Structure 1
Amino acid sequence: MARRVVVVGAGVYGAAVAAELAVRGVGTTVVEAGAPAGGTSGATFSWTNSCGKKPRSYHDLSVAGMAAHRRLAADVPHSDWYHEGGNLEWAADEPGRAALRRKVAEVLDFGYEARWLDRVEVLRLEPDLNPDRLPDDEIAYFPREGWIEPTRLVGYLLSTAISRGAELVRDDAAAGFGVEGDAITTVLLTSGRRVPVDAVVNCAGPSAARVAELAGLKLAMRNTLGALVYTSPVAVAVSRVIHAPDIHLRPDGAGRLLLHTRSLDAAARDLDTGPGHTHARRDLDEDTLAAVLAAGRALYPALKSATVESTRVGERPIPGDGLPVLGRARALPNFHFAVSHSGATLSLHAATLVADELLGQDHTATLAPFRFERF
């Protein structure tokens, strides 16, 4: 049994893996190059879903991830990071409607909860929506979807790990590995500290390829930049994730809304950015921000008084084929991966699978589609 494990990264994946291991009595050290949840986890739409995910193995993994969030929220008194309000989605043209019909048909075939609503039914759920921006019908509703507040979740998971003896090392990145035969024996940090280990879990998100390369493994990644707008507090009733044709939004606590558009992502790609960085509002074009607010106000007229309180730009970790990378590496059996897009959905369940395998449990069938070796 592994008694000393280093988890590289303190986002949602690293925090979840650390909590799983520490609760089971494993000596765990979490190594974070910056601040916990300070990278992608702090700059994410954090939508929990399995809406249109393919293949079936990825869909099932995501459904299990959603169930893991429900269980944790039910088990932890006063948990406030998980919100299951559902997701509303509609399209603006016939090609978009046809694609949405296919998606709904596919998830229903998988046994996933989805149903069609008309304008009247949607306005009962979201009365502040502008009815003129809604189609008469063919509005898809996915009632078990929702969102998490990732920083709050990361805080809970890390506090759980630390209360069970885990150590959090922040502002100190993994700089190298000592390898003997086919096993990592030490982790070298930029500070010069050497940490003896029985296993390593790569939860480094956008930096996962760099960390894998330190171990002699080439991980294919195609990271992208994404941007989000956080409004000032505003008196508008929004209870769900909304995917409208021109804008995506959700509540973000204390009366704020979180807004996202494709134009924001395009603006983020124009920035001169480094891996894992987040950026202040001044880095995003003011015309782009005005257009995002205008799209939000068109959908929710009560947003008329809202202003842009802050923005964040994050680097999304996306493996080369879009699917998660989970579990041990065959060439280096004590080096494990927990890397993916959709970390908000997958983190808790994937952390359990990775921790189980690290401690000797067999999840061959579940993890087979997500092994590093597929590249």
Structure 2
Amino acid sequence: MAEHVVVVGAGVYGAAVAAALSRRGAHVSVVEAATPAGGTSGATFSWTNSCGKQPRSYHDLSVAAMAAHRRLAAEVAGSDWYHGGGNLEWAGDDAALARLRAKVAGVLDYGYRARWLDREAVLRLEPDLDPAALPAEEIAYFPDEGWVDPARLVDHLLSVATSRGAELVRDAVTGLDVSGEAVRAVRLSSGDRLATDAMVNCAGPWAAGIAELAGLPLPMRNTRGVLVHTSPVAVGISRVVHAPEVHLRPDRADRVLLHSEEIDGAARVTESGEPDVPPAAVDRVLAAGAALYRGLSAATVASVRVGDRPIPGDGLPVLGRVARLPNFHFAVSHSGATLCVHAGELVAAEVLGEDVGDALAPFRVERLLPAG
């Protein structure tokens, strides 16, 4: 059993892996260069779902992960990070409707709960929606979906880990000492060196850089994501909503979170290297939200968050140990908010020598590496 494990990154994956390792008795050091949940985890729509995910192994992993969120929230008195309520989605044109019909048919074939609602049924769920913004019928409802507050989830998971002796090291990884087909130590920018029996790369969009320190290629195709947080506003939105022009969900303290593909594409990097989103793009996404929920016309923009979404080369998660460096493990993916609790348990179990069967087999990094 690995007695000391270094986890790189304190986002949703790093916190989940650290909590799972600590519960199993390992001594854990979580290395985070910035603020826990301050990177991608703090700039994610954090919709928990398996809505149209392919292949079947990815779908099944996501369904199990959704159940893990519900269990964890039920087990912890006063938990405030997980929110159910389902997801509503409708199309804006014939081509989009054809894609939505195919998605619904596909998930139903997998045994995933979905059903079609008409306008009146949707308004019973979301009475503040403007009826004129809804089609008369063919509005898809996925009742088992929901969302998490990633910062509060990370707070809980790190609290679990630190209460069992884990340490949070606020530093950056600059190197790895590798010999005899094992990582022996993690070197930090402060000059410190953490000797280790195993390490887990939970560095999100920076995971390829950490892997490179061990001589491991990790093909990534990260994308930029933008979220708009409103001021507190008297709008009764109770669940995730995917409308043609905007995606919405509740946010903490009576705020609303908005996202759109258009605003993702509008984000740019300034000459100083800082992310920037044109005000006109922010105004458009807020106006699209107000066209659905009239109360949002009174909202102002409280903040705009820009983050890099970590997406491995083929779009699927990279999880578990590396064959040629068996004490180096990955927990990297898009959909980390959905997968983190369940996948974190699987990765932690494998780190400590437990048999997880074939659960991680479709997601190992070797599928992305050159043959030979």
Bin for the TM-score computed over the shorter chain: over 0.9
Q: Which residue does 1:156 correspond to in 2?
A: 156
RMSD: 1.1
TM alignment of 1:202-281, pairs within 5 A: 202-269=201-268, 271=270
Distance (whole Å) between structure 2 residues aligned to residue 262 and residue 336 of structure 1: 32
Q: Which residue does 1:116 correspond to in 2?
A: 116
Distance (whole Å) between structure 1 residues aligned to residue 238 and residue 272 of structure 2: 33
Change (3 A) 1:364 1:374: farther
Q: Which residue does 1:300 correspond to in 2?
A: 293
Per-residue CA distance 1:340-370 (angstroms, 9 max, x = gap): 0000000000011101111112224121110
Distance (whole Å) between structure 2 residues aligned to residue 253 and residue 173 of structure 1: 30
Per-residue CA distance 1:96-117 (angstroms, 9 max, x = gap): 1111011001101111010000
Corresponding residue to 1:311 among 294, 304, 316: 304
Change (3 A) 1:23 1:142: same
Q: Which residue does 2:141 correspond to in 1?
A: 141
Per-residue CA distance 1:201-229 (angstroms, 9 max, x = gap): 00000100000000100000001111010
Change (3 A) 1:224 1:76: same
Distance (whole Å) between structure 2 residues aligned to residue 57 and residue 80 of structure 1: 30
Distance (whole Å) between structure 1 residues aligned to residue 287 and residue 311 of structure 2: 30
Corresponding residue to 2:282 among 289, 294, 310: 289
CA drift of 1:269 comes to 4.0
Change (3 A) 1:65 1:287: same
Distance (whole Å) between structure 2 residues aligned to residue 128 and residue 260 of structure 1: 19
Corresponding residue to 1:358 among 342, 351, 354: 351
What secondary structure is seen at the aligned counterpart in 2 of 1:230?
A: strand
Q: Which residue does 1:40 correspond to in 2?
A: 40
Letter in 2 for 1:371: R
Distance (whole Å) between structure 1 residues aligned to residue 27 and residue 61 of structure 2: 28
- Contact 2:83–2:147 under 8 Å retained in 1: yes
Corresponding residue to 1:324 among 314, 317, 320: 317
Letter in 1 for 2:348: A
CA drift of 1:270 comes to 5.3
What secondary structure is seen at the aligned counterpart in 2 of 1:304?
A: helix
Gaps (5+ residues) in structure 2? none
Indicate yes or no: 2:192 matched with 1:199: no
Indicate yes or no: 2:97 matched with 1:94: no
Query: TM-score, length-normalised on structure 1?
Result: 0.96
- Contact 2:8–2:202 under 8 Å retained in 1: yes
Distance (whole Å) between structure 1 residues aligned to residue 319 and residue 87 of structure 2: 27
Per-residue CA distance 1:64-122 (angstroms, 9 max, x = gap): 11000000000000000000010000001111111101100110111101000000000
Indicate yes or no: 2:340 matched with 1:341: no
Residue correspondences, number: 368
CA drift of 1:272 comes to 5.5
Q: Which residue does 2:56 correspond to in 1?
A: 56
Gaps (5+ residues) in structure 1? none
- Contact 2:240–2:248 under 8 Å retained in 1: yes
- Contact 2:268–2:277 under 8 Å retained in 1: no
Distance (whole Å) between structure 2 residues aligned to residue 287 and residue 179 of structure 1: 49
Letter in 1 for 2:141: Y
Distance (whole Å) between structure 1 residues aligned to residue 186 and residue 254 of structure 2: 44
